[in-house]
Structure 1
Amino acid sequence: MNNEKLKQNLEIQLEELESLQSMFYNHGELKIEDPVTLFEIKNYINETNGFVPPELDMTINLEVDSLKFQLYVNLPQEYPDISPTVFVRNEKLNRIQNGKLNRDLKEFMENLEKGEPCIFSAISWVQDNATTYVDMSSDVKDISESIEDPPSRLWIYSHHIYSKTKRREIINQAQSLNLNGFCLPGKPGIICVEGATKNCNEWWQIIRSMTWKKIYCKITEEFDDESDFLKFDKFEEVSFQTNNLKCNHMDMGELCKYLEIHKCSYIFKDLFGVEGKLTSS
């Protein structure tokens, strides 16, 4: 995508944002996750700097029939030519119903005409349909925990992970599915999840359905016995940044040290094709 096309897309995104802000003007109804991103987008459009700005993330708080829903939105730089990443959350929804709600919303978004802003359409769909899933939630039980399942560990490699919306969903889904591991945002982005194979696979189906430049499961480890398999005691986001100007590239030495601490340094070469070197203290 050339600079002119990117500027055109960003201008459309800002126009849509202004319209949303005129609709959700009360305090807390619409939140830009990182106000600096908005500043950088405007500077890029005005050619104040040459840095390609980060993707725009926002949260829209909706009240539907006295129930509160959070709509998390990530606008990739190709938007509106491609679909945005959109997720809905509500505390009354269990995991099964939350998954169905977001799958149906995704299907609705994918069927919309590309090239046109569509966040208002997503909002309208949530307002018209969201309470249906709350009503259904008491009738659907999450039985996955009662099913015996051998453990697996997935190692995910992404071209980059910057979006706060995506990072939040990576963590939320992992915790909801009782998975351990870590997410290392930046360029490249690395994610490790471990736990019941069924839950690992469900997590991966959800995460890879987002809009990514490039993401794939590079390594899958499977074991028959959970003993001596699990390397992590929780799921967390970690950060090992270098001192480059944009502060978005990982420090490979610190990552290697982190893997060493968790007794899985052997994976470094499989991930990156080179032997890991520990950072000196």
Structure 2
Amino acid sequence: MSTGDVVESDKLSLEKIKENLQTQLSELESLQSVFYNPGEIRVEDMCTLSDIKNFVNGRSTYLPQYLDLTVNLLVEKLKFELCVTLSHEYPYAEPEIFVRNHTLNRPRHVQLNRDLCDYVSGLERGEPCIFSAVSWLQDNAQGYVEIKEKPALEESVKDERCIRYWIYSHHIYSKTKRREIVDLANLLHISGFCMPGKPGIICVEGTTSDCNEWWQSIKSMNWKKIFCKVTEEDKEGEEGSFLKFDKFEEVVFQNSGVKCNHMDMGELYKYLDDHKLGYIFKEIFGVEAKSNT
């Protein structure tokens, strides 16, 4: 990601970016003064933190990656992970934020994240808000645990028809989101891939029930922009021939530098074509692909 790319695409001056990043560093310092016990707060990539400090202090002109951090909270002896990604626009843009807790069932987990995102969306922009999000979670998380599920009158029938979703995101940078995307897909035995960067592309394939559960959970996270662009269904009912991947993985096709930003679209097309899915490139991007081979 070059300086020109960011300023042109996101309409931010270098001075404004520096100002925002300085605010982020100050907020992180305040958080660390409160959550000082080992493991309570974690910066996901210390190299990124160093890059931000160098950029703010004028020792580097290279724009750093987004800051990822995790706050680990104990609420009534239950562990909640508050995962946060701060873009260059924060605090004037919402943080990407979501909660991980493996004791909640999927519907409760999704609802907790939706409610937290709604709360953060209602806060005043231009002011740091991670402390507010932490306080909201401390005050409200237990309520999602205590809600009793109504017994089902009849056991729901899983939809075993196969389906494939092509998901388009403005960007996928957050390391915690990327981990959650892969972990949840593996948990639900879904195959496909996630291509991080800008834009971010995700393909998931499997049974309709499993893919829908994965999509409901992932889209409940706070995204700048994410939507399902193409849906394909197995109309023939031949699972073996419809499914094109044997596992779910993250794939990276880098065309510059050593960091995960803009991807090489020619390499993406080759990857799709190798899986007999080359036709989808034009449907997603609206242009014909140019393979590097």
Q: TM-score, normalised by structure 1?
A: 0.86
Amino acid in the other structure paired with 1:91: H
Taking the aligned partners of 1:64 and 1:211, their CA distance within structure 2 comes to: 22
Amino acid in the other structure paired with 1:85: E
Taking the aligned partners of 2:147 and 2:175, their CA distance within structure 1 comes to: 30
1:96: which partner in 2?
Answer: 107
1:63: which partner in 2?
Answer: 74
Amino acid in the other structure paired with 2:169: S
Report Cα offsets for 1:187-227 as digits up to 9, x if no partner. Answer: 33221122344654564455456555554433322333352
Taking the aligned partners of 1:216 and 1:104, their CA distance within structure 2 comes to: 19
Cα separation, partners in 2 of 1:111 and 1:247, compared to 1, 3 Å: closer
Taking the aligned partners of 1:149 and 1:52, their CA distance within structure 2 comes to: 46
| 1:255 CA displacement | 2.8
Determine whether 1:28 maps to 2:42. Answer: no
Aligned pair partner of 1:241 in 254, 261, 265: 254
Cα separation, partners in 2 of 1:145 and 1:2, compared to 1, 3 Å: farther
Cα separation, partners in 2 of 1:24 and 1:193, compared to 1, 3 Å: same
Taking the aligned partners of 1:168 and 1:148, their CA distance within structure 2 comes to: 26
1:271: which partner in 2?
Answer: 284
Aligned pair partner of 2:140 in 115, 126, 129: 129
Report Cα offsets for 1:57-111 as digits up to 9, x if no partner. Answer: 1011111111111111111221111221111112211111111111111111111
Amino acid in the other structure paired with 2:280: I
Determine whether 1:232 maps to 2:273. Answer: no
Aligned pair partner of 1:194 in 199, 205, 219: 205
Question: RMSD in angstroms over aligned alpha carbons?
Answer: 2.8
What is the aligned-residue identity percentage?
58
List gaps (5 residues or longer) in structure 1: none
Taking the aligned partners of 1:129 and 1:226, their CA distance within structure 2 comes to: 46
Aligned pair partner of 2:53 in 25, 42, 45: 42
Alignment of 1:164-243 (within 5 A): 164-175=175-186, 178-197=189-208, 200=211, 203-204=214-215, 207-208=218-219, 210=221, 212=223, 215-224=226-235, 225=237, 227=239, 228-242=241-255
Cα separation, partners in 2 of 1:144 and 1:254, compared to 1, 3 Å: farther
2:162: which partner in 1?
Answer: 151
**Partner SS for 2:242:** coil
Residues 181, 235 of structure 1: 8 Å contact kept:
yes
**Partner SS for 1:146:** coil
Cα separation, partners in 2 of 1:208 and 1:89, compared to 1, 3 Å: closer
Aligned pair partner of 2:30 in 7, 14, 19: 19
Amino acid in the other structure paired with 2:134: I
Taking the aligned partners of 2:87 and 2:232, their CA distance within structure 1 comes to: 31
Q: Larger deviation: 246-255 or 126-135?
A: 246-255
Q: TM-score, normalised by structure 2?
A: 0.82
| 1:113 CA displacement | 1.6
| 1:246 CA displacement | 4.5
Cα separation, partners in 2 of 1:144 and 1:274, compared to 1, 3 Å: farther
